[in-house]
Amino acid sequence: MPNLAMLSQIGYMAQSDALYTELSALENLEFYAALYGLKGARQKQRISAVMEVVSLEQHLHKRVAQYSGGMKRRLSLAIALLHEPPLLVLDEPTVGIDPLLRQAIWTELKALNAIGTTIIMTTHVMDEAEKCDRLGMIRDGHLIAVDTPDVLIQQAGKSSIEEAFIHYGGVQL
């Protein structure tokens, strides 16, 4: 049985969206807010704040079934951020999101990290990996390198994190 107190300390965004498509975005957010113990004015304030972060304020009352794939990803991220957890676990958080919004989301993630939120994310998008403070490169289920992006690039003698990954992974092209 999971430790329910611990769950309130973690924001999780899976690769597959865990949304109730027959409900509106607001109803989904209210459901998750209730799970996290958010009520009243605090709940309304957090819903407004996270919907602004993911630029979905105009679609709050729309049924999730009417959302595009990118909008669903953004709503999933909003739910993960809703209760301001000290730990965020994000699986491919910006896949399918347009470049301008992706940049805004990264700005928000960096701001959260700056105030102490630990963010663990998976990505195969190397320019996103390069924005991280520390990387753990995994190939075929094995951790092949761990350090800052700059150190990994320098130690591999390469000019990009993508080239460094190929170097560390022993990939032959």
CATH number at residue 50: 3.40.50.300
The answer to the question of residue 46 being in a domain is: yes
The answer to the question of residue 132 being in a domain is: no
The answer to the question of residue 15 being in a domain is: yes
pLDDT tens-place string over residues 142-160: 999 999 999 999 999 999 9
Percent of the chain with pLDDT over 70: 96
User: Does the pLDDT of residue 8 top 90, yes or no?
Assistant: no
pLDDT tens-place string over residues 55-105: 999 999 999 999 998 899 899 999 999 999 999 999 988 887 888 888 888
Q: Domain tally for the chain? A: 1
Domain hosting residue 107, numbered range:
4-122
**Strands (DSSP E) along the chain, which ranges?**
10-13, 87-91, 118-122, 135-139, 142-147
Instruction: Tell me the three state secondary structure of residue 25.
Output: helix
The answer to the question of residue 33 being in a domain is: yes
The answer to the question of residue 169 being in a domain is: no
The answer to the question of residue 159 being in a domain is: no
The answer to the question of residue 55 being in a domain is: yes
The answer to the question of residue 56 being in a domain is: yes
pLDDT tens-place string over residues 19-34: 999 999 999 999 999 9
CA distance 33 to 41: 12
